[in-house]
């Protein structure tokens, strides 16, 4: 990131200060446990605070955007997007030949904004409904521009990604994967692709900033550190955020990798196999939005998925220790 770009924490703190001044309260007291508590304030006063935010940051909220604000974290995310990301002058031309792939399972309450922001990129958007049972079909029908693929039953994120990548490979040279829970800003897909050097076809991973925030689950912080170490030991190279789902995959190179995993371990297995096959892996700093626990939708099960990841790493590390690099490369690629 350029030095001029403020951090998400800095922008959130400024949002707190503006709202606190509008409400006539002490900003430091209002912030409390790391975020402004709006409970108990009159709705009209809060509308005045929204107007103050627009004036302070020189932005404008639409009625639809404000309708989705159900917690202060939503407001932090909205200001961040409009004040920082959109004002950076995103060059969407770097997305030519790319497609967005979004695997989803029971994310109907969070997926709408992700779809709308993804469609704004002007490239194909592929959604893989992995056996959802929450009525998500009705949501998807509101966006006729989507390319929707469906699994009759839930088969896991890895299978959903494989389905989406295979479909995208019919018409795209790169697939950009985005999680359906709203933690990523789709506009930052351009940041991923802008980092691809001319003549190179790396995997590009989003390096999430601000992962020490109070609403970032401990499982995400621990899982990232755990996974980073074992990905490197597996031969996938040194990465700082091996569990980020916001990635750019070169097609068909990624589909040629012989990945076995079907669930969350699919993404880390790909990094190990990419290392064996000689596919470079780059990381690009991106923002991240974590909602309070009551709003966040995650199907990651710490114990079960920890065991799955461990089994995947154990297999990769054993093979790496026993076999020469030339054999590993052959094993990584399908014949």
Predicted confidence (pLDDT) per residue in 155-168, tens digit: 999 999 999 999 99
29-44 average pLDDT score: 56
Higher pLDDT, 115 or 36: 115
**Cα 73–75–81 angle (5° rounding)?**
105
Q: How many CB atoms lie within 10 A of CB 134?
A: 15
For residue 77, the model assigns a pLDDT of 87
For residue 64, the model assigns a pLDDT of 86
Residue 89 DSSP class: -
pLDDT at residue 8 is higher than 90 = no
DSSP symbols for 114-130: HHHHHHTT-S-EEEEEE
pTM score, whole prediction: 0.85
Starting from the edge strand earliest in sequence, which strands make up the sheet with 98-104, in order?
A: 147-151, 125-130, 98-104, 174-177, 247-250, 203-208, 281-286
At 76, the pLDDT band (50, 70, 90 cuts) reads confident
Predicted confidence (pLDDT) per residue in 173-217, tens digit: 999 999 998 889 999 999 999 999 999 999 999 998 876 655 555
Ranges 67-81, 117-131, 243-257: which has the least confidence: 67-81
Tokens 């800003």 found at: 185
pLDDT at residue 280 is higher than 80 = yes
How far apart, in whole angstroms, are the C-alpha atoms of residue 334 and residue 292? 42
Q: What percent of the chain has a predicted confidence (pLDDT) above 70?
A: 84
At 293, the pLDDT band (50, 70, 90 cuts) reads very low
At 132, the pLDDT band (50, 70, 90 cuts) reads very high
Domains of the chain: 8-87 (1.10.1200.10), 93-332 (3.90.550.10)
Closest CA to 77 of 185, 196, 158: 185
For residue 32, the model assigns a pLDDT of 46
The answer to whether the beta carbons of residues 108 and 132 sit under 8 Å apart is yes
């Amino acid at each position: 990131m350029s030095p001029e770009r403020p951090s998400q924490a800095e922008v959130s703190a400024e949002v707190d200060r503006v709202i606190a001044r509008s409400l006539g309260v002490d900003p430091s007291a209002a912030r409390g446990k790391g975020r402004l508590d709006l409970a108990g304030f009159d709705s009209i006063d809060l509308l005045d605070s929204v107007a103050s935010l627009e004036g302070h940051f020189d932005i404008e909220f639409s009625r639809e955007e404000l309708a989705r604000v159900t917690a202060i974290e939503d407001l932090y995310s909205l200001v961040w997007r409009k004040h920082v990301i959109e004002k950076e002058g995103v060059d969407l031309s770097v997305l030519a030949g790319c497609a967005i792939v979004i695997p989803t399972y029971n994310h109907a309450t969070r997926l709408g904004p992700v779809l709308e922001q993804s469609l704004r990129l002007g490239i194909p958007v592929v959604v893989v409904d992995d056996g959802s049972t929450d009525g998500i079909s009705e949501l998807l029908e509101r966006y006729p521009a989507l390319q929707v693929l469906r699994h009759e039953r839930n088969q896991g994120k890895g299978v959903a990604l494989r389905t989406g990548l295979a479909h995208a490979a019919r018409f795209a040279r790169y697939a950009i994967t985005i999680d359906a829970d709203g933690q990523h800003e789709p506009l930052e897909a351009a940041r991923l692709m802008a980092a691809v050097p001319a003549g190179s076809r790396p995997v590009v991973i989003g390096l999430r900033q601000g992962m020490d925030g109070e609403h970032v689950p401990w499982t995400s912080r621990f899982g990232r550190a755990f996974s980073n170490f074992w990905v490197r030991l597996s031969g996938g190279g040194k990465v700082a955020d091996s569990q980020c789902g916001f990635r750019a995959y070169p097609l068909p190179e990624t589909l040629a990798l012989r990945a076995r995993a079907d669930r969350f371990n699919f993404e880390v297995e790909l990094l190990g196999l990419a290392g064996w096959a000689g596919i470079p892996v780059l990381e690009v700093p991106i923002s991240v939005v974590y909602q309070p626990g009551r709003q966040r939708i995650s199907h990651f099960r710490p114990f079960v998925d920890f065991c799955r990841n461990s089994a995947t790493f154990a297999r990769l590390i054993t093979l790496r220790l026993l076999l020469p690099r030339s054999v590993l490369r052959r094993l990584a690629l399908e014949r």
